[in-house]
Structure 1
Amino acid sequence: MQPVTFEDVQAARQRIGDAIVLTPCAKSPALSEIADCELYCKLEYLQRTGSFKERGAANALTLLAEVGGKPGVVAASAGNHALALAYHGKRLGLPVTVVMPRFAPLIKAATCQRLGANVIKFGESFAEARQHADRLTTEQGLIYVHGYDDPAVIAGQGTLGIELHEQLPELDAVVIPIGGGGLIAGVAVALKALRPDVTIIGVEPERMPCYSKALEHGEPCMIDPVPSLADGLAVGRVGERAFLTARPHVDRVVQVSEAELALAILRLLELEKAVVEGAGAASLAAVLAGKLPELAGKRVALPLCGGNIDPLVLRRVIEHGLAVDHRLCRFTVTISDRPGGLAKLTRLIADADASIQEVRHDRIFAGPEVTNVQVDVVIETRDADHAEAVRTALKAEGLLH
């Protein structure tokens, strides 16, 4: 097995041409202020199907179309790779079959079908979906296109690195999400060839540190899949070719928690007006969590890799992010169950400049004192200090212990 080279990436750039979007990479003043460095967001969620995966898919399918790709291609994917194959397969006239685990987001499966792909839901894990896709390659003579370990796919993802160099020639560092490793492998090869002193940093979810485990063992190894907000990164095993290609060029790898991912999604939504999925927000999560202090004052690029987040998941993430940010707080108080008891509580909260979001009475489990009632309250506050001020006011009145 040979690593992907810079020449492969250059050829991919010429091959895919206008088939993908040259996405903007502008400085974010708001994010730069809170991160203490110059942050530039590469808006990959503006690709036609909402993620960087189009680069690799376009390159791989164009190569197959040139040599005749009938009866078509197949891939196992939880979403973005499938979307990219469906779109570019339709554009190039290649039949596409995608096998998705049963837990794959409904919106991604529906979009793949709308783009003309044959969507098969199979298995409770990515590994089971992959096994079924492998059977289809044998039974139907389809060509398997790996989402992050195919050399043409890796080379296609590397075109993002060439664009970063052209858009930010003075770039100091780039922070890249890692799942299977295809993106960081391609981008690292390209950037290190064009500017060897640029720092390449990888970010992976704490729940699925596939690349870090590969570093520990010296080779890719399987870890038990665990659900993550960054579902696009939770692949279980980094690709062999991706690891071989990336390892000499990646300078550092850090992990981020689920709470940090949720907060990064919220920050992008509020400050950049950008809807980004968990995997796409991982690079910002690492910066905001203070895990990369060496980047202070430097020019840093963040590829916002994808925006295909389920609307229902987004709603929960926003609420969780607000809780992590101490802007939604929940507490239980004991008040009088007689007239005026609830009014006293709401007046105290209003006097503290907080806003009540939800109130729920609990008389059944409030204890034997029939004149009292427990009330669960969710309030909106400005920050942690404001939330603590509300708690202090309630404690002073004996409502909160």
Structure 2
Amino acid sequence: MELITIADVRTAADDLAGTVVRTPLLPVPWDEELWLKPENLQPVGSFKLRGATHAVARLAPDVRSRGVVTHSSGNHGQALAYAARAFGVPCVVVVPAGAPEVKVARMRALGADVRTVPPARRLAEAERIAAESGAALVPPFDHPAVIAGQGTIGLEIVADLPDVDVVLVPVGGGGLGSGVATAVKALRPSASVIGVEPELAADAVESLAAGEVVVWDVDRTYRTCADGLRTNLSARTLAHLRERLDGIVTVTEDEIMAATGRVLRDARLVAEPSGAVALAARLFHRDELPGGRTVAVVTGGNADPAVLAAALAV
């Protein structure tokens, strides 16, 4: 499996300039060695805009004109719909039943044709639509251009904090961790990139231990409140993480919700549970992490108001 390089990430950065927000690093008042990377401030509320925009930009014009299709529980679907609208092409998003309604509504508002299917059918249905319509399939994470786009977060982290020691990234399908680790390890080899995933969707931990993709079925992964992290790794993302990730830790549901409330109250940022797992690792598993100057990526803020209310009550 050929891995992306720092050159690929730099190409993505050129494609994204002027379209994607270059988010800052924000210090927090309770931890002098912690900064947050607030990707919830992107126009679609998550880091997914980076990979989706780069992937659409890299399509040949005649291919792109036929439109794009994907499968997503919400954030990637919103990002692809936004990118497709910017390029003036149609977008179809296959959504698993049970996806947060706030995310589905925003996909439709961005012009996406949303199709709902049972969770286990999402990929197969997206592939069927692509084959029948001629639209380009842009998967949420299993794509070199998507991974390179997400890697631009790592470029920005090292540029803004050159002596960073630790970068914490949520892991679902592994595209973010693959891209960020590629950039950070190329530019700051001494830094550690640590993945974080929910205990109730810990397929990446098992996959890295086994050296092959271990699939958790939807009955297991759908127990977690971190809906953006319910997907399994692909062979491509596993290859990147095995080569470049320095470790992975898991966090509980209570820890995720507590971190969601903490970032809202004390950092004044709206994070969905999936976006708060990196902070949860720093708050509750610091003894399992390397020490030093740490950046936690807040990956998204597309939370249902009821979820935010529950987090504030913790």
User: TM-score by structure 1 length?
Assistant: 0.75
- Other-structure match for 2:10: 10
Q: CA deviation at 1:107?
A: 1.1
**Who is 1:41 aligned against?**
36
Q: 1: distance between equivalents of 2:208 and 2:286?
A: 19
CA distance in 1, matches of 2:287, 2:92: 40
1:186–1:246 contact (8 Å) kept in structure 2: no
SS in 2 for 1:247: helix
State the secondary structure of the residue aligned to 2:184: helix
Q: Which residue of 2 aligns with 1:344?
A: none
Deviation at 1:293, TM superposition (A): 4.9
User: Residues 46-101 of structure 1, C-alpha deviation per residue, up to 9 Å, x if partnerless?
Assistant: 00000000000010011115454122111000000000001111001121100101
> Which of 291, 300, 303 is residue 309 of structure 1 equivalent to?
303
What's the secondary structure of 2:285's corresponding residue? coil
| Contact 2:255 2:284 survives alignment (8 Å) | yes
Q: How much has 1:219 moved relative to structure 2?
A: 1.2
Q: 1:366-377 to 2 correspondence within 5 Å? A: none
CA contact (8 A) 1:74 1:97 kept: yes
Gaps in structure 2 of 5+ consecutive residues: none
1:258 has 2:253 as partner: yes
TM-score by length of structure 2 reads 0.96
Whether 1:202 and 2:182 are equivalent positions in the alignment is no
In structure 2, what is the equivalent of residue 342 of structure 1? none
Preserved contact between residue 213 and residue 221 of structure 1 (Cα < 8 Å)? yes
What is the 5 A alignment of 1:237-276? Answer: 237-276=232-271
How many angstroms apart in 1 are the aligned matches of 2:253 and 2:294? 23
Question: Using the alignment, how far apart are the partners of 2:133 and 2:285 within structure 1?
Answer: 50
Give the distance between the partners of 1:9 and 1:244, measured in 2 at CA: 17
Q: Counterpart of 1:286?
A: 281
Match of 1:147 among 137, 140, 163: 140
Aligned to 2:71: 76
Q: What is the CA-CA distance between 1:133 and the residue it aligns to? A: 1.0
Within 5 Å, give how 1:1-400 maps onto structure 2.
1-30=1-30, 32=31, 38-64=33-59, 66=61, 68-123=63-118, 125=119, 127-225=120-218, 226-227=221-222, 228-235=224-231, 237-296=232-291, 298-319=292-313, 321=314
Question: What's the secondary structure of 1:280's corresponding residue?
Answer: helix
SS at match of 1:317: helix
Contact 2:94 2:126 in 1 (8 A): yes
2:112 maps to a residue whose letter is A
Deviations 1:238-295 (A, max 9, x none): 1221111221111111000000001001111110111101111001101111344554
CA distance in 2, matches of 1:104, 1:267: 24
Structure 1 132/270 Cα, relative in aligned 2: closer, same or farther at 3 Å?
same
Return the alpha-carbon distance in structure 2 between the equivalents of residues 176 and 17 of structure 1: 22
Which SS does the other structure have where 1:268 is aligned? helix
Report the number of matched residues: 311
How much does 1:317 deviate?
2.9
RMSD: 1.3
- Relative to structure 1, the CA distance from residue 261 to residue 99 in structure 2 (aligned partners, 3 Å threshold; closer, same or farther) is same
**CA 115–181 in structure 1, closer or farther in 2 if over 3 Å, else same:** same
- Aligned to 2:44, the other structure's residue is in SS state coil
Q: Distance in 1 between matches of 2:155 and 2:287?
A: 24
The 8 Å contact of residues 65 and 94 in structure 1, kept in 2 or not, is answered as no
> Distance between the aligned counterparts of 2:193 and 2:26, measured in 1?
19
- Specify which structure has the higher proportion of helix: 2
Whole-angstrom distance in 2 between the partners of 1:46 and 1:90: 19
Kindly tell me: are residues 294 and 202 of structure 1, through their superposed partners in 2, closer, same or farther at Cα, counting changes over 3 Å? Answer: closer
Contact 1:65/1:92, CA 8 A, preserved across alignment: no
2:186 is aligned with what amino acid? A
Give the AA of the match of 1:12. A
* CA distance in structure 2 between the aligned counterparts of 1:163 and 1:273, rounded to whole angstroms: 22
Distance in 1, matches of 2:48 and 2:60, equals 18
Partner Cα distance (1:295, 1:216) in 2: 20
User: Aligned partners of 2:128, 2:169: CA distance in 1, in Å?
Assistant: 33
Q: Distance in 1 between matches of 2:250 and 2:61?
A: 40
